[in-house]
């Protein structure tokens, strides 16, 4: 089937607002005159997004919706999701990309062993997320200087470089780093796995706290 055929078939099953389908196709820059099987992964993803959203559902369930979309098209998709939310729609989004979750979600649910074990406001997720700071010093620095800070979870050393894993505020850490000559400093974007491990007190393969699933 062509993209147009598939969308018309979906429209016959459940008709949506007349202009919504064409607006989604236009904004996602989708060529609906091509056969779906001939499309790239990203364009097949667009076909599916239009199919899911074109009838303006009250509840929208999405599993890794931006998989295959280029960064510019991801921004377009986020804008479309924002407009859905403004119209009072509910969106359930499954994603392993923390930045995406922070961008589009109000609350986050944690699934463990196939069960929903907790639901948190996104602001609480931000406060609890684990971050990695990679610092290159001009000379070797004793890692114990940083390990004593309360927000530091671990410090890994490689010659004059330190990877500092932290949870919480970074002000005191930055002040400690500023006491030395620094050649480079970068933050690593945390993953949902980092948040999951910090949330359940698991670090370095060991479970520090036991929580019922």
Rounded to the nearest 5°, which phi and psi values hold at 33? -90, 0
Interatomic CA distance for residues 11 and 16, integer angstroms? 7
In a domain, 31, yes or no: yes
pLDDT above 60 (res 63):
yes
Residues 7 and 89 in one domain: yes
pLDDT above 80 (res 10):
yes
Q: Which domain holds residue 161?
A: 129-201
In a domain, 80, yes or no: yes
Domains contained in the chain, number: 2
Interatomic CA distance for residues 46 and 67, integer angstroms? 10
In a domain, 139, yes or no: yes
Output the pTM of the full model.
0.65
Q: Per mean pLDDT, which range of 26-35, 112-121, 125-134, 143-152 is the poorest?
A: 125-134
């Amino acid at each position: 089937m062509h993209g147009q055929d598939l969308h018309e078939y979906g429209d016959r099953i459940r008709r949506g607002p007349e202009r919504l389908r064409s607006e989604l196709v236009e904004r996602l820059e989708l060529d609906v005159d091509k056969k779906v099987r001939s499309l790239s992964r990203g364009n097949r993803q667009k076909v599916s997004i239009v199919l899911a959203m074109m009838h303006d559902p009250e509840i929208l369930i999405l599993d890794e919706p931006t998989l295959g979309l280029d960064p510019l098209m991801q921004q377009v998709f986020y804008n479309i999701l924002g407009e859905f939310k403004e119209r009072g729609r509910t969106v359930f989004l499954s994603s392993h990309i923390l930045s995406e979750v922070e961008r589009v979600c109000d609350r986050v649910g944690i699934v463990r062993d196939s069960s929903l074990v907790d639901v948190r406001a996104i602001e609480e997720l931000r406060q609890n997320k684990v971050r990695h700071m990679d610092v290159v010093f001009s000379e070797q620095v004793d890692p114990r200087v940083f390990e004593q800070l309360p927000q530091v979870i671990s410090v890994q050393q490689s010659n004059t470089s330190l990877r500092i894993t932290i949870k919480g505020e970074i002000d005191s850490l930055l002040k400690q780093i500023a006491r030395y000559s620094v050649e480079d400093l970068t933050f690593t974007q945390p993953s949902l796995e980092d948040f999951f491990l910090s949330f359940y007190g698991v670090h370095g393969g060991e479970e520090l706290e036991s929580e019922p699933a």
